[in-house]
Amino acid sequence: MAKIQLAADYYLHHFAEFLQVILARYQPVLQQQHLQFISDYQQLPQDAQRLWLRMLNRKGSVFALSDLEYAEIADIYIAVHQLFGAGFAMPPSTPEDLADWLARASKDRLSRIIQHADHELKKSWSRPELQAVVLQQQLLNTQNLLALEPYLALRRTDELQFLLFLFFGRFEQNLQAFTLRDLGVMSTGGLKTEYQARYQDAATANSAFFYAQVQATWRSHAPKKGETRTLAELESWQQQLSTWPDPLDDRTAQKQEQLLYEFGLAAQRAGDVLLALQFYQASGGFAASERLVRLYHQRNEHELLQMQLQRMLENPSCDDELWFARDFLARLGKERKVTDLTLLLQQASVLTLDELYLGQTEQGAVQFYQSQGCLAWHVENELWLSLFGLMFWQELFESEQSAIFNEFERRPRDLTSPDFYKKHGPALEAKLAQLASSPELSLRFLLQNFSRYYGTINSIFRWHQDITSWLTPLINGVPSAALIGVLRRMAQDFRHHASGYPDLMVVASGQVRFIELKAPGDSLRRHQLTRIRNMQALGIQVELQKVQWWIDPARCYAVVDVETTGGTGEHDRITEIAIVKVQHGEVISRYSSLVDPKRQIPSFITRLTGISQAMVATAPCFSDIAQEVIQQLAGCIFVAHNVRFDYGFVRAELQRAGFSLQLPQLCTVVESRRYFPGLKSYGLAALTAHFDINLTSHHRALADATATAELLLLINQQRAKG
């Protein structure tokens, strides 16, 4: 594939294109500071514009002058002077500037600032250790930084962020999307040719931008894994709530709702339930309402609990909320002891599938129903999203009122709010009326839209040929009133009705039914239950089936263990592989080989596994043994202790060698947790010790695979009993 060459000065052209759109569409929204920013930028000499845009499109906000030398900039010192004069750049001076430099500085620059401060420096220090010394010893300030070399910090980005928000509808830092478009990485166009402004008035735009800023600030300061937000931070957010502007459009209201819910979650995790309650009470969405109900119940606040449930019943924010409130009230009234989720699972019928379909439950179920003479497809959400997208294509993507505001957008921005139905209600209802009066005409219309728009990129559904196979039995076999009910709900509340649909569509003697599958270990989620209840209420046949696995006594298992140079199959390589095959409850063969990874084995890996560079120097490359590995695995269930790790590495190595791997997988970690609950640890060493399984050379492939095979035999004894 030929490499696409970007046009000279592509950053200049992108920004000029961007400003042209902003000035043409958003004049009523722009305030004086935004117009002044545009004017000041346009008055900059081109070299200054080039330099500022180069900085804008790099990571960070503080740059060494030596890192900003580009062929198109004739004299960088003049350009810097011009940027300083117009306020588009300044010498780094703020705490934020210094923090940005510290986060991205190289080892060399960190070492130089330590040396400049006459502080002790050890050559063995890593980059994080150097950063820690600079921070702890307070060596970083503007004077020390500029003594090393010239630096400049990006400025005038506040005004720009508002303009970017108008264009993209989200918080952006630069125009990378334009570059990706020109490189052919991001496809654009194909939906609308004429675009309207995202916001028509300054108040709505400012309110939306405010909440986008809050969300960006909140999420950019997310705690590290295992840590929680401080109560001081959360209390600060709570004190600011009274100053927040009112959301003036539905999307902004949803963003406010989500933020308050996230604040509440953080307060709960930090241990302040009262603060969490305040955030949830202010939120108003279902997620927050559910938390309120559970907290009131835990705290025995019966009056508040009853009031909250009554509000959810009388004015539910979505169907999920209504079903949840009904269920909770039923259990409060002792009408039943278990949740509706549990009750439905208890009442579900059982479907027995061959364990060859482990990890491919839906495919196994489709094969089963086809063997019974039925038509069956794995459709899940795609069926309903395709039906919705094809039925309402014109309103979604081609109408003047369609909320697609630039060539980069693939889905109407108002689809997740009530605005979509408010704008297009009459047109949508006319199509639904035709479906009621003439399903045949509606089917023809759907198939015509499929042919006309096939392949047009959108973010609602994926194109594939099976869609046409689905539509005919769906339109002919499901009552039109039921289809209309589903489509209307999707149009009115797409956010809550775009997912959770049953896995399978099965057609027998022209009758259509839908099946939600649950394999062992799977849970039924609230939105899946809501889809089932809603579809049943509309007269659509929907059932839940629990899958149990049939274990063929003659099944062959390939128990695999690999040792590697690191933790990711995409970048690291295998240094040793072992395959122990088990059949009829016995080990029938063993295979192992060292592998030359064609790269350095890290010292800590050698300490862990005992596999050194010298040991693999004469070993075969994986490509040399790939054919043999494929033969060893053929027809088997792939078993490993933490199967994703081993399977991922083996698949990646086989792909490099020109082979594909598609096998059912069984994880002895998962199965051990299921059949031997309550153990302190499910690591291989702990399990082998618990069950008195021999493991003499842990972290060598054959020893680990042999021990895992013994563990598999114990697991299969329990599985067979089940």
SS (H, E, C) 253-321: HHHHHHHHHHHHHHHHHCCCHHHHHHHHHHHCCHHHHHHHHHHHHHCCCHHHHHHHHHHHHHCCCCHHH
Q: Which residues pair with 406 in a beta bridge?
A: none
Greatest Cα pair distance in the chain: 86
Q: In the CATH hierarchy, which fold is given to the domain comprising 556-721?
A: Nucleotidyltransferase; domain 5 (3.30.420)
Q: 483 near 475, Cβ under 8 Å?
A: yes
Q: Residue 658: its pLDDT value, please?
A: 95
202-343 maps to which CATH number? 1.25.40
Cβ neighbours, 10 Å, residue 230:
12
Which of these ranges, 4-8, 22-26, 109-113, 499-503, has the smallest mean pLDDT?
4-8
> What are the tokens at 131?
């950063």
pLDDT exceeds 60 at position 454: yes
Name the 3-class secondary structure at 545: strand
**Residue 74 confidence (pLDDT) above 90:** yes
Q: Which residues contact 44 (CB under 8 A, 6 or more apart)?
A: 52, 82, 83, 86, 88
pLDDT digits 0-9 by tens, 653-676? 999 999 999 999 999 999 999 899
Among 209-213, 429-433, 522-526, 532-536, which stretch is predicted with the lowest mean pLDDT?
522-526
Long-range contacts of 51-55 (CB under 8 A, 24+ apart): 51/76, 51/79, 51/80, 51/83, 51/89, 52/83, 52/88, 52/89, 52/154, 53/11, 53/12, 53/15, 54/11, 55/89, 55/152, 55/154
pLDDT > 90? residue 52? yes
Three-class SS state of 642: coil
Task: Check whether 3 has a pLDDT greater than 60.
Answer: no
**Contact assessment for residue 26 and residue 201, using Cβ atoms and an 8 Å cutoff:** no
For 156, the enclosing helix (H) or strand (E) is none
pLDDT, tens digit, 9 for 90 and up, residues 548-585? 998 888 999 999 999 999 988 778 999 999 999 999 99
Instruction: Decide whether 202-343 matches 556-721 in CATH topology.
Output: no
pLDDT of amino acid 338: 79
Q: How far apart are the first and last CA of the chain?
A: 54
CA distance linking residue 412 with residue 394, whole number of Å: 12
Helix (H, G, I), strand (E, B) or coil at 575: strand
Q: Which residue has the tokens 């004429």?
A: 194
Residue 176 makes CB contacts below 8 A (sequence gap 6+) with 57
Which tokens go with 337?
């002891």
Report the candidate in 488, 490, 485 with the shortest Cα–Cα distance to residue 381.
490
What is the distance between the alpha carbons of residues 626 and 647, in angstroms, rounded to a whole number? 14
pLDDT band at residue 697, thresholds of 50, 70 and 90? Answer: confident
pLDDT at position 26 is: 96
The DSSP line for 649-661 is HHHHHHHHTT---
**Residues of the chain above pLDDT 90, percent:** 84
Q: Provide the pLDDT confidence category of residue 700 given band limits of 50, 70 and 90.
A: very high
Please tell me the distance from the alpha carbon of residue 480 to that of residue 158, in angstroms, as a whole number. 52
The two structure tokens encoding residue 396: 């979604």
- Domain regions of the chain by residue span: 10-183, 202-343, 361-549, 556-721
Residue holding tokens 């916001």? 199
Contact (Cβ atoms closer than 8 angstroms) between residue 639 and residue 560? yes
pLDDT of residue 513: 97
Is the dihedral angle over the CA atoms 676, 679, 683, 689 positive or is it negative? negative
**Comparison of pLDDT for 345 and 483, the residue scoring more:** 483
**Cα–Cα distance for residue pair 614/619, rounded to 1 Å:** 10
Other beta carbons within 10 Å of 123: 6
Would you say residue 43 has pLDDT above 90? yes
- CA nearest to 280, candidates 228, 241, 331: 241
Question: pLDDT, tens digit, for every residue of 220-239?
Answer: 889 988 899 999 999 999 99
Given this model, what pLDDT does residue 184 score?
Answer: 82
> What integer pLDDT is reported at residue 174 of this predicted model?
87
Q: Which of 698, 708, 684, 701 is nearest to 576 (CA)?
A: 701
CA distance 617 to 615: 6
Segment 197-215 mean pLDDT: 96
Neighbours of 707 (CB within 10 A): 26
Q: Is 332 exposed, middle or buried (0-12, 13-18, 19+ CB in 10 A)?
A: middle
Mean of per-residue pLDDT scores for the chain: 94
The pLDDT, as a whole number, for residue 334 is 77
* pLDDT score of 520: 86
Pairing of the two strands 151-154 and 89-90: antiparallel
Please return the burial class of 529, using the count of CB atoms within 10 Å of its CB with bins 0-12, 13-18 and 19+: buried
Q: Where are the beta strands (DSSP E) in 129-249?
A: 151-154
Picking from 387, 383, 415, the residue whose alpha carbon sits closest to that of residue 501 is 383
Task: Write down the pLDDT at residue 1.
Answer: 42
pTM (global) more than 0.75: yes
Tell me the mean pLDDT in the region 704-715. 96
* 3-class DSSP assignment, residue 507: strand
CA dihedral 376, 382, 386, 392 (to 10 degrees): 130
